[in-house]
Structure 1
Amino acid sequence: MLVPLCINVVLSVVGFGVVLRAIPVLSTMFIDAGLFGRDLCKADRTKKVPESMGMVSGSVFLGIMFLFLGVPFSEHFLTSSKPFPHAAFSEYLTSLLSICCMLFLGFADDVLNLKWRYKLVLPTLASMPLLMVYYINQGSTTVVVPRLLRAWIGGTLNIGETAIKAL
């Protein structure tokens, strides 16, 4: 149990170092690609500030998580005495898929200047794979309803029960 934690700490420190070195290098590339803004709170408003830099840290995070993928399940890869935990593995992969979708949507929002109506719908669509895997694995699919809709829907909504009633 201590070995996966140590590997996670080492990979996190490596990822931190990669992000610290990549941001200054990639910021000029983002500015050259036209992904920049102006800092309106500074006296010098002519200086270009790179935008969409969350892509850098998000991509490094996904890379670190892909490298870490085999560590929690290594005992099942090395010995076949225990059955493989397919449910936990699918939840791990689906969570990475949802993070990847949100990272892509954040970048698309920076590049395309999406309207608010899309910003409300797209995160829900990105979380659907994770909710469906939780439902299939008999996990919780309860979602907290936004305050604006609580008067009509209630405080929480169990998507699994709602989907079954709809079918």
Structure 2
Amino acid sequence: MNAQAGDAVTVSLRPATSADLDAILALEEETFLSDAWSREQMEAELASAHTSYVAVTDDVEGVVGYGGVLAPSGSEDADIQTIAVAPSFRRAGLGRAVMAELIGAARLAGARRVFLEVREDNPAAHALYADLGFVDIGIRPHYYQPDDVDAIVMRLEFEDASASAVGPVGAS
């Protein structure tokens, strides 16, 4: 199934749970061939009280995207941990929707700024983050291993600490 413009694709965003672990790991391994997170790492992320993860699901394919943010309550800093969308569902706005949820979760946790790293060889993701208001603040040489690719460090600053209108999935 392809999620190109005009296709009738039914997707939804919801909080990710430990029941999504296998599907998230499959997408993680498909997306990040050389540096995918381990089962233990992802399991810990999904279980942490300091992270918020969302899953993008399709009626046919199941989990077709996910993302997570580390946003400890009371901290002014949050960090986008990971985000991925299945190749056949890219360019349909799902990455932007996931990022909006993660940014909303960071704001609700009281963050004043959100950081992320993006591979220097991923101009599409870099452009999305810049379009969302993130600015480049540095380079981490040789960050992504074993590919030896630099990371561009980006930051989004909130003008105030109040919660935005965009909240995390499942927030009331």
- TM-score over 0.5 for the pair: no
Q: Which structure has greater helix proportion?
A: 1
Q: Quick check: which one's strand share is greater?
A: 2
TM-score by length of 1: 0.30
Query: Higher RCO, 1 or 2 (CA under 8 Å, sep at least 6)?
Result: 2
